[in-house]
Amino acid sequence: QNPAAFAQSCHDLVEDPRWADVFDGIDIDWEYPNACGLSCDASGREAFPNLMRALRTEFGSDALVTAAITADGTSGGKIEAANYAGAAQYVDFYMPMTYDFFGAFAAQGPTAPHSPLRSYPGIPTPGFDSATAIDKLQSLGIPSNKLLLGIGFYGRGWSGVTQSAPGGSATGPAPGTYEQGIEDYKVLKNTCPATGTVGGTAYAHCGTTWWSYDTPQTIAGKMDYAQGEGLAGAFFWELSGDTTNGELIRAIGRGLE
């Protein structure tokens, strides 16, 4: 509601004398401007560029100002709700959250990979894939070199699944270490190894559970895509989901060399 005051509070926090010079800048994760997340926002299309302009003014040209943003590529979806193109001039890069498209928050399924690179026949919601989101952001005039591709270091899964291929019905979320329906890659690679790929990501059917997640192999394909599109690089959520020897982060690094 008061972008300048908010920006000043962020700057005061980042540059607090107790840890001044630790941080490179500020990253904003607003879910979602002029759209609905856990709650709904109706601040208008210009609220987001107004906020990012205030942050850039407050932090200056030498600090990083970045934002994690929606990857909803559907027609009339969240990307269209806010003026992300208008705010692009103020950010160093955007991080479209190209994961969590599907999951056991739809407890009965259909099963679908939570981070497809591309659409595929039978995808439950057309427009819920990474390439469509990137295409839409580019089409709005956002430079490719201000976009990063998001990689999840975890899987999303269902239980009560009999069908190996995507699109099966389920009875609920699969058990997880921290919460139902989510598990780290470092666990899944051993407990439920990948049995197939769809849309440029992997899935696994073991017993009556069905998971989708990225592997070093599918990350290599995603990095090829990022390079081909001239993207600034990639980002991930989050580090503790990787193996102790960093299989996934190493795959990102190799793919972006």
Domain spans in the chain, listed from the N-terminal domain onward: 3-153+215-255
**Within a 10 A sphere around the Cβ of 17, how many other Cβ atoms?**
6
Length of the chain: 257
pLDDT band at residue 220 using 50, 70 and 90 as cut-offs: very high
pTM: 0.96
pLDDT tens figures, 231-257: 999 999 999 999 999 999 999 999 999
And the tokens for 25? 């800048």
> Average pLDDT in the 128-145 region?
98
And the tokens for 203? 């899935």
Which pLDDT score, from 0 to 100, does residue 11 have?
97
> Average pLDDT in the 138-159 region?
98
Indicate the SS3 state at residue 246. Answer: coil
Which pLDDT score, from 0 to 100, does residue 235 have?
98
DSSP 200: T
State residue 183 phi and psi, 5-degree precision. Answer: -150, 150
Cis before 99? omega within 30: no
pLDDT tens figures, 92-129: 999 999 999 999 999 999 999 999 999 999 999 999 99
Residue reference for tokens 């659409």? 119
CA 134, distance to chain mean position in Å, is 11
pLDDT tens figures, 15-62: 999 998 899 999 999 999 999 999 999 999 999 999 999 999 999 999
Q: Where are the beta strands (DSSP E) in 61-153?
A: 64-69, 93-96, 148-152
Cα radius of gyration rounded to whole Å, the chain: 19
pLDDT band at residue 215 using 50, 70 and 90 as cut-offs: very high
Fold that domain 3-153+215-255 belongs to in CATH:
TIM Barrel (3.20.20)
Q: Which of the residues are catalytic?
A: 31
Which pLDDT score, from 0 to 100, does residue 134 have?
98
Query: What is the percent of the chain with per-residue pLDDT over 70, rounded to a whole number?
Result: 100
